[in-house]
Structure 1
Amino acid sequence: MRSVNILRGAVAASGLGMCAFGILQFVDRTSPDLQDVIDVLVWLGGAIVLHDGILVPLVLAVGWLVMKAPFSGALRGGLLTASCLTLIALPMMLRAGKTANNTVLPMNYVANWVIVLAVTVVATGGVALFSHHRSRNSKGLDEARP
């Protein structure tokens, strides 16, 4: 029990250190005025509301819905991967039109997102088939034993 408390303290201290480093970088690199600080705090508050109020309940609800589905582990992993990929790609896909500089966001991000999602679907199917094959083989071995 004592080692768990030491580990928790180390993780908490590490997190606080990273937060302090981020704040120092923000102040040092941007020389923010009061409005910049307010904007960052509003953004952080919005991120917390979005995460804790929308994303977490949605992920829990979808996980609960697919819990009884065949290959639920592979399905949940694939859905989580696809969701994370979508959240990462969304800002590039929703960019505000063409920019004056052609080198800013030069790729077709929607097409690349579709390709990566297709790879995710194929990988999820492969994991599901592998786990199904493995479970069939282990059941057959259990039945063959005296």
Structure 2
Amino acid sequence: MRTASVLRYGAGALGLALIGIGAWRVAEQRDPLGVLVWLGGALVLHDAILAPLVLAVGLLLVGRSDRGVLRGALVVAGSLVLVTLPLLVRPGEPPNPSALPLPYGRNLVLVLAAVAVVAAAVILVRRRRRRPQRGTGDG
């Protein structure tokens, strides 16, 4: 058997084992239906909103010379939102008071603004460097 086949079957077996563990963990919850509804909502959110939004932004960036910087900024911003969003939308008080000691909403906006400023600065510097320099003739 070739190495690629062994790796493929190994990855498939690992995936099936993880699916089994996940199903077992969902089944032992007090409210497995609530967990399944949450997972279904996450799937709909991804497939109906996030994926088309990412594709639309990708179409808007086609042909731009600064698309790499914009893509990087969008990946960083999206990652920041994905990390902080569960803390922001969780209803009620956190079970651990130290879980949210700072105003996460305001701080997220500030960090996203910093990402936008850095991306804009990189784009401006690159455009300025690309611009042909005018010769300062002596006479």
Give the alignment's TM-score, normalised by structure 1.
Answer: 0.65
Q: Deviations over 1:10-67 (max 9, x none)?
A: 332222222223333445xxx435xx12222222111111111211111011111122
- When the two chains are superposed, the root-mean-square deviation of aligned CA atoms in Å is 3.2
For the pair 1:86 / 2:81, whether they are aligned, the reply is: yes
Return closer, same or farther for 1:21/1:127 CA change in 2, 3 Å cut-off.
farther
Distance 2:9 2:95 in 1: 49
Return closer, same or farther for 1:94/1:44 CA change in 2, 3 Å cut-off.
closer
Instruction: Determine which structure has the larger helix proportion and give its number.
Output: 1
Unmatched 5+ stretches in structure 2: 131-139
Alignment of 1:54-73 (within 5 A): 54-73=49-68
For the pair 1:118 / 2:113, whether they are aligned, the reply is: yes
2:137 maps to which residue?
Answer: none
Distance 2:5 2:120 in 1: 40
- Counterpart of 2:29, as a letter, is P
Q: Percent of aligned pairs with the same residue?
A: 43
- Counterpart of 1:8, as a letter, is R
Given that 2:84 and 2:108 are in contact with CA atoms closer than 8 Å, whether structure 1 keeps it comes out as yes
Unmatched 5+ stretches in structure 1: 137-146
1:144 maps to which residue?
Answer: none
Return closer, same or farther for 1:16/1:126 CA change in 2, 3 Å cut-off.
farther
Distance 1:126 1:4 in 2: 45
Q: Deviations over 1:63-103 (max 9, x none)?
A: 11122223101101211221221232223334546669744
For the pair 1:48 / 2:40, whether they are aligned, the reply is: no
Give the drift of 1:123. Answer: 4.5
- Counterpart of 2:100, as a letter, is L
Distance 1:117 1:106 in 2: 19
